[in-house]
Amino acid sequence: MTRIGNANSVADLQAIADDLAERIGFGSVTYTQHLPQDPDRVPLFFTRYPDDWVEHYSGNHFGAVDPVIRLAKLGRPFCWRDIPDRYQGDDGRHVLNEARDFGIIDGFCVPVLGGPVIGALNALPVGSAREREEALRYGVESLVALGHLVHERARLLTMRQARDIVAALTPVESEMVQRLMTGLSEDQVVGAMRLGEGEFRRLLGSVMGKLGATDPHQLRARTALLGLADAP
């Protein structure tokens, strides 16, 4: 488990998590972070889910009704098959049924609450039916420990990324980010900073590019996840 502390990139973290999970009978390791107030925005650190499922999940905005995310907010590890009905609903059951069609079934979730985000490591037991049951019976304690270690390392990698982004922002761009995160509308930011509409659009495009955001909503989500709203 100490190998997690040596991961210096997301790719390293994924490779080490994959190897450690495999040793206790789990595969398809996925780690995501979620804003509690905006669960549909699912910044993905890494996944071994099929690409077509990831695209299908994102394209149908399943993050807003995913019962795994709903229950993860409580911060307690759980097996998907044990999700209570009140956290599922028709939409949530639909998500789980759709996942089953892609071979994604009987996962185990390790949520970690901390700071402005919920970290969630999910993995699927592998092998024969007997081997999968044994993994869920005997391997979850180790998987929980792995989930917490992955979350802490991901948090540190995120902090490094945030520092790099802060260093790349100009003072005007940084001010614009801070004002947007206070809840001001774009028009209010334009007025407060005395910017022309064209200048504001240019700055917004530059900031979105540096944060890897495709729209203002994603920009706010990534800013919150990276802690940039509190950066000097």
Secondary structure, 3-state, 131-189: HHHHHHHHCHHHHHHHHHHHHHHHHHHHHHHHHHHHHHCCHHHHHHHHHHHCCCCHHHH
Q: Which residue has the tokens 């945030």?
A: 162
129-156 in b/e form (b: 16+ CB < 10 A) is eeebeebbeebbebbbebbbbbbebbbe
DSSP 37: T
Compute CA 68 distance to the chain's CA centroid, rounded to the nearest angstrom: 13
Terminal-to-terminal C-alpha distance of the chain: 34
Q: Could you read off the pLDDT of 159-197 as tens digits, one per residue?
A: 776 777 778 888 898 888 888 878 788 889 889 999 888
> pTM here?
0.74
- Which two three-digit tokens encode residue 227? 């802690």
Q: Could you read off the pLDDT of 50-70 as tens digits, one per residue?
A: 999 999 998 898 988 999 999
pLDDT at 232: 42
DSSP 116: T
Give the separation between CA 16 and CA 29, rounded to whole angstroms.
11
Give the separation between CA 231 and CA 193, rounded to whole angstroms.
19
pLDDT at 152: 86
- Which two three-digit tokens encode residue 86? 């009140």
The list of the chain residues with pLDDT below 70 reads 1, 36-44, 114-116, 161, 218, 221-222, 224-232
What phi and psi values does residue 117 have, to the nearest 5 degrees?
-130, 160
Q: At what angle do helices 10-23 and 140-168 cross, to 10 degrees?
A: 180
pLDDT at 229: 58
Are 115 and 132 contacting, i.e. CB atoms less than 8 angstroms apart? no
Q: Using alpha carbons only, what angle is made at residue 10 by residues 159 and 24, rounded to the nearest 5 degrees?
A: 120
pLDDT at 58: 86
Are 27 and 124 contacting, i.e. CB atoms less than 8 angstroms apart? yes
- Which two three-digit tokens encode residue 164? 């790099």
pLDDT at 231: 45
Say how many C-beta atoms besides its own lie within 10 A of residue 163's C-beta.
13
pLDDT at 115: 62
pLDDT at 12: 92
Torsion of CA 221, 222, 227, 229, to 10 degrees: -60
